[in-house]
Amino acid sequence: MSVTTSGQQTQGDTTAELQAIADRVIAQAGGGEQIEAFVARGGETEVRVYQGDVEHFVSAQSEGIGIRVIKEGRTGFAYAGTLDEDAVREVLAEARDNVAFGTSDEFAGLAEPDGVDTTEQVLWNDTLADYATDRKIDIAKQLEKLASGQDPRVRVDDSNYADAWGEAAVASTAGIRQAGRENGCYVSVSTLADEGEGDDAETQTGFGFSVGDSPDEFDLDRAAREASERATRLLGATKPSSKTVTVVLDPFVTAQFLGVISSTLNGMSVAKGRSLFKDRVGETVANPLVTLVDDPTNPSAYTSTDVDGEGLAARRNVLIEDGVLKQFVHNSSSARRVGGVSTGNATRGGFSGTPGVGCLALSLVPGARTQDEIIASIDDGLLVQQMQGLHSGVNPISGDFSTGAAGLLIENGTIGAPVREFTIASTLQRMLLDITEVGGDIEWLPMSAAGMSLVISGITMSGS
């Protein structure tokens, strides 16, 4: 068992204190200087259980400040993992010193208020904030017990509980001033299904999870059941014959696929010529039934938020509408590089880094049918349950797509034999155009994209 603890989780609202620190920093701006101060405080709990015992436990808290200084097109940045008054002064001085080492950039600058109002959301849950540690551990143990009891062939590799909370404030000489706090939690369980003996022995893996605003919202029974089914349904899998098939992506796989698509819609990638969709705004890039939206104002999204990493209001951005590419996601820097405006998509991992850009809560607009209803309408296809090496097998510049996969054949509208050790291949451009149905089984996962069943025709399955 490994244990890490750091500090006390004091979760009273201290956003006003953090905002005051940020305000004091930018008040010290000199002539010709732009200054941004990002101040944050947060904590996390991680529990991993194995065979009824706590194998790993982390309860940690951190706080700190990151300061950007921009002068004459050069940017200096510095940070410290403390909010001590002397340390804050030193960080500001260091950021100013680092300006001299910065590369001149005509697009350097801070985000400016754009008049978009924030969407009021409930991002903080008091029940989660007050949840006792021993109850969190009990949840992980309960999930392990439930998963272990699903099928005699199934054993649990690990059962996990995780939560995190954060408070942050940002202020800048450009007029940005925002503060807020949020928290969230999820559970996950990894399973192993065993069958056969000796040379015929095999083991397949599975997983299940549940998310919620508080632990009281978890569906542990479903997480345990799905973890068992994902593992056992692949037992006896063989390598399939090579052919062209219609695939149905499982919701979790669809979320992974959307994560890849999001990289092609990143404004900084577009500005640097690293996107296959550069210069294609207004063109049809997907089947007309496809509408792709990034909407962190959706309260159902696990990554919902009210402001982005630069303090601008988060907003609903339609990226692909009825198959037509409408826009890319931008922070203030990438927007300036293409002569546009920020879409409220600045990302920031914490006080120790400067803003990036990316989708915040991506989802296809769902259709109407369940996965079972979709499968019933397919005579010859493949349900893709797992994809391996997704990022290494996909080129977001050329669009080439080739990745390992495992799943189950679809024969005459029913689930057939399990298959593994094959690849599925196409191009991202072709896959978007070959989408034939979007499922209605939308599921928000502990990531920045939603999942739902997704049907894509014309996929090359390379097996034996």
DSSP letter string, 40-87: EEEEEEEEEEETTEEEEEEEEEEEEEEEEEEETTEEEEEEES---HHH
Domain edges within the chain: 2-231, 237-462
- Calculate the average pLDDT of the chain: 95
Element at 381 (helix H, strand E): strand 380-388
Strand segments (E) across 213-342: 243-249, 292-294, 317-321, 324-325
Answer whether 330's CB lies under 8 Å from 310's CB. Answer: no
Q: What stretch of H or E contains 167?
A: strand 154-172
462 DSSP β-pair partners:
423
CATH number for region 2-231: 3.30.2290.10
For residue 90, give every residue at least 6 positions away whose Cβ sits within 8 Å of its Cβ, in sequence order, or none: 80
Residue 4 clears pLDDT 60, i.e. is over it = no
Q: What is the CA radius of gyration of the chain?
A: 24
pLDDT for 11: 61
Using CA atoms, how far apart are residues 264 and 274, in angstroms rounded to an integer?
Answer: 8
Per-residue pLDDT reduced to its tens digit, 446-462 = 999 999 999 999 999 99
Tell me the pLDDT tens digit for each residue of 127-152. Answer: 999 999 999 999 999 999 999 999 99
Cα separation, 90 vs 217, in Å, equals 44
| Per-residue model confidence as pLDDT tens digits over 359-413 | 999 999 999 999 999 999 999 999 999 999 877 889 989 999 999 999 999 999 9
Select from 410, 445, 111, 135 the least CA-distant residue to 303.
445
- Residue 5: the pLDDT is 38
Mean pLDDT of 313-318: 98
Does residue 285 register a pLDDT over 80? yes
For the cut 60, the answer to whether the pLDDT of residue 10 exceeds it is no
| pLDDT at residue 7 is higher than 50 | no
pLDDT for 9 equals 41
Look-up of token digits 């692949």: 234
Residue 289 above 70 pLDDT? Answer: yes
What is the pLDDT at residue 200? 86
Give Cβ neighbours of residue 395 (< 8 Å, ≥ 6 apart): 401
pTM: 0.94
Residue among 391, 435, 400 nearest 284 (CA): 435
Nearest to 365 by CA among 431, 300, 294, 302: 294
Q: Which residue has the tokens 């034996």?
A: 464
Tokens for 4, please give them.
């890490």
Q: State residue 2's pLDDT score.
A: 38
Q: Is 3 exposed, middle or buried (0-12, 13-18, 19+ CB in 10 A)?
A: exposed
Q: List Cβ neighbours of 326 (8 Å cut-off, separation of 6 or more).
A: 281, 282, 318, 319, 320
pLDDT-above-70 percentage for the chain: 98
Q: Among residues 349, 341, 397, which one has the least CA distance to residue 111?
A: 341
